[in-house]
Structure 1
Amino acid sequence: MNLVGHLECFVAVAEELHFGRAADRLGMAQPPLSQRIQRLEKELGTRLFDRSSRRVALTASGRLLLEEARDLLDRAGRILTVAERAGDRATLRVGIPEDLDGAVVASLIGTFRDVRPDLPLELRPALTEDHLRALADGTLDVGVLRHPCDTSGLALGPMLGEPLGALLPDGSPPAAAPELRLADLEGHDLVVPRRGNSSAALEDLLASCARHGFVPGAVHESPHPQFTLGLVLAGTAVALVPRTPAAPGTVWRPLLGAPLLRRTSCAWRAGAPPEGPIADLIDVTTRVLRTEAAMTPVPHRVVLRPSSGFLA
């Protein structure tokens, strides 16, 4: 039996108390997850969950196992990290957003090479949800995360923010003003980057737009910046993006008062403070984001936004 894999499944179900949500979190189908839990229960000789059509609850045995399982998974992650560091060719693995600008990527690689020329850096572009799973299972050392997202079990570096502005068709009525209010975009559709399995960031963005008078007629998910550009050029949609050179046929306008920020931070598994190469990587990544992407520190607050129900 793959004990670590089965315990990861157990912890996910124990924390979600819902097999469907746990399967989504683990990136697997529900039937194999149920089979893994059944095999674990058979191997241990005890029921871990009380199941009914309405609810899933931990048994007394399940509650006893949960803390031990979390501790074992933490230790397994540390063992994997130590083993990889002991290899002939240690590599630091950092997850980056798919939309990170090319100049930022180049600067990140070059700056880290200057600091640690002996240590290769492996960049893994993916969605934040994928980075969260990889950080949890120890296959990433550091993740550059877009917020809001579930950061339980993670430590965070400085929170950095990029003001968002409006990318809209050149010649449209709002484009005539040097700065816009969000309410000036009323009547337009909105194009947003694809979000994977997480809706938290989208819900947070839409709630902020609504508070400032912009409720888009429709929301379109875009898999690629060129698709976003195409929808904007079509004349009915706008995108809310950081300052960027506008393509022919479009203009970028800042928003009065900077009501929208794209928040980003480095994250790593919680525990001992980062040291050595990991600390160097976090420092380099934060510095590069502040200089190359013109991000600025924002308050590291965690508060519930009543209008959206998501964390700010």
Structure 2
Amino acid sequence: MELRQLASFLAVVEEGQFARAATRLFLSPPAVTGHIQRLERELGVQLLERSPIALTPAGERLVPHARTMLAAANAASDAVTDLHTDSPLPLRVGVMAPGSAELTPAILRAFRKAQPQTPISVESLSFAEHTTALTEHRVDVAFVRPPPDDERLRVDVLTTEPRVLIVPSANPVGDAESVRLTDVLDLPFVGLPKGAPRVFTDYLYFACARNGMPPRCGVDQAQTIQDVLTSVSAGRGTGAALYSFSRLYHWPGIRFVPVLDAPWEQSALATRRNDPRPEVRAFRTLAATLARDLGPKLAAASELAQPPAVLEL
């Protein structure tokens, strides 16, 4: 299986015609046809119906893997392009836990495979470091929520999810199957540090429904999601999160309750807009590829009518 065969296969899938795929790849139509025929022979299955162009079940299964393999190859190419040193600088990855749910470890694993020569350090980010860790050059890429509103940063949205309330199990709200924003606004929320940016406080406290009124905050201040969970489990406040948290955190004394009419929110990968490093570009490319290919699984897991799903990423 060759990369040019996979590139021809994806080009035909995305363009819908052999001729347009050939133009896109600067090849002749017979060359593109030959690539796909050899790929089908090697795999022993038909990937495309020819008249009209349509994916077979085997072709549908190959598409996400082909995209990931090409993205990894491009990342590897970027790693050696403009290389000025035999000891590449580490790529510093900031994660405001849990990042972008199951995508976070999947992206890190894919990058390690694509660029094993690039050292990676993973650093935990507090709520106050939503943007400052990047703007102060302490990390190179950051998994955060919601997407930062800062012109110095470039943002790639990775997940879009419903919202949940994090409440003590003993709280009457904890017995509800779901709530609405009118049930949420008067609850005492866990506080945030002064350095938390406005976009994050608006996200946490459902500012879109408060008409400018501030939230009622408890005595605790949380720097991380672990602080929120600790405070809530002790009955000292209420928190809010994305729906994926209900799959990822199992703490005694808390419940995750869907907020049915809250706007869906996003998690994102943020980088400095002017960062020239090819490793950063490669990381963004892999993140976007995996978000596109694995996104449907995450979306299915966020269906409120279904029990939490176990994803195989």
1:1-312 mapped onto 2 (5 Å cutoff):
85-100=83-98, 106-127=105-126, 130=129, 132-133=131-132, 135-136=134-135, 140-147=139-146, 149-158=148-157, 160-192=159-191, 194=193, 196=195, 198-203=197-202, 205-206=204-205, 207-211=207-211, 216-219=215-218, 220-235=220-235, 237-242=237-242, 243-244=245-246, 245-270=249-274, 276-287=278-289, 291=294
CA–CA distance in structure 2, aligned partners of residues 137 and 170 of structure 1: 39
Q: In the alignment, residue 177 of structure 2 is paired with which amino acid? A: P
Residues 217 and 103 (structure 1), Cα distance of their counterparts in 2 relative to 1, 3 Å cut: same
2: CA distance, partners of 1:121 / 1:263: 21
1:33 aligns to what? none
Aligned residues of 2:165 and 2:257 also touching (Cα < 8 A): yes
**SS of the residue 1:265 aligns to:** strand
Instruction: Tell me how far apart the structure 1 counterparts of residues 130 and 186 of structure 2 sit (CA, whole Å).
Output: 35
CA distance in structure 2 between the partners assigned to 1:186 and 1:138 by the alignment: 36
Matches of 1:140 and 1:191, distance apart in 2 = 27
| Alpha-carbon distance in structure 2 between the residues aligned to 1:143 and 1:280 | 14
Change (3 A) 1:295 1:86: farther
Q: Percent identity?
A: 20
What TM-score do you get using the length of structure 2 for normalisation?
Answer: 0.53
Alpha-carbon distance change, 114 to 150 in structure 1, aligned in 2, over 3 angstroms: same
Distance in 2 of aligned mates of 1:173 and 1:90:
54
1:130 to 1:191, Cα distance in 2 relative to 1, 3 A: closer
Coordinate RMSD, CA, aligned:
3.9
Q: Judge conservation of contact 2:204–2:239 (CA < 8 Å) in 1.
A: no
Deviations 1:251-278 (A, max 9, x none): 1111103425244233232387x8x433
**Which letter does structure 2 place at the counterpart of 1:218?**
C
Letter in 2 for 1:268: R
State the distance in 1 between where 2:102 and 2:113 align: 16
Query: How much does 1:92 deviate?
Result: 4.3
* CA spacing shift, 1:172–1:255, aligned 2, 3 Å: same
In 1, Cα distance between the equivalents of 2:141 and 2:253?
38
Separation of aligned partners in 2, 1:223 and 1:229: 11
Distance 2:89 2:215 in 1: 44
- SS of the equivalent of 1:143 reads strand
Instruction: Check 1:155–1:216 CA distance in 2 against 1; reply closer, same or farther (3 A cut).
Output: closer
Aligned-partner SS, 1:190: strand
Question: 2:147, 2:155 within 8 Å by CA — same for their partners in 1?
Answer: no
**How far apart, in 1, do the equivalents of 2:267 and 2:105 lie?**
21
Cα 1:131–1:260 change in 2 (3 A) is: closer
Instruction: Give unpaired runs (5+ residues) of structure 1.
Output: 1-81, 297-312
Q: Which amino acid aligns with 1:280?
A: A
- Contact (CA 8 Å) 2:165, 2:241: kept in 1 or not? yes
Shift of 1:282: 0.7
Structure 1 residues 285 and 123: CA distance shift in structure 2, 3 A: farther
Q: Secondary structure at the match of 2:117?
A: coil
Count of residues in Structure 1 that have an aligned counterpart in Structure 2: 211
Q: Is the 8 A contact 2:94 2:124 kept in 1?
A: yes
Contact in 1 for aligned 2:153/2:270 (Cα 8 Å):
no
1:104 deviates by 5.5
Q: What CA distance in whole angstroms lies between the structure 1 residues aligned with 2:105 and 2:203? A: 30
Tell me the equivalent position of 2:6: none
- What is the SS of the residue equivalent to 1:237? coil
Query: Structure 2: 5+ residue runs without aligned partners?
Result: 1-79, 300-313
TM-score, normalised to structure 1, is: 0.53
Change (3 A) 1:149 1:113: closer
CA distance in 2, matches of 1:218, 1:197: 15
CA offset digits 1:8-36 (Å, max 9, x no partner): xxxxxxxxxxxxxxxxxxxxxxxxxxxxx
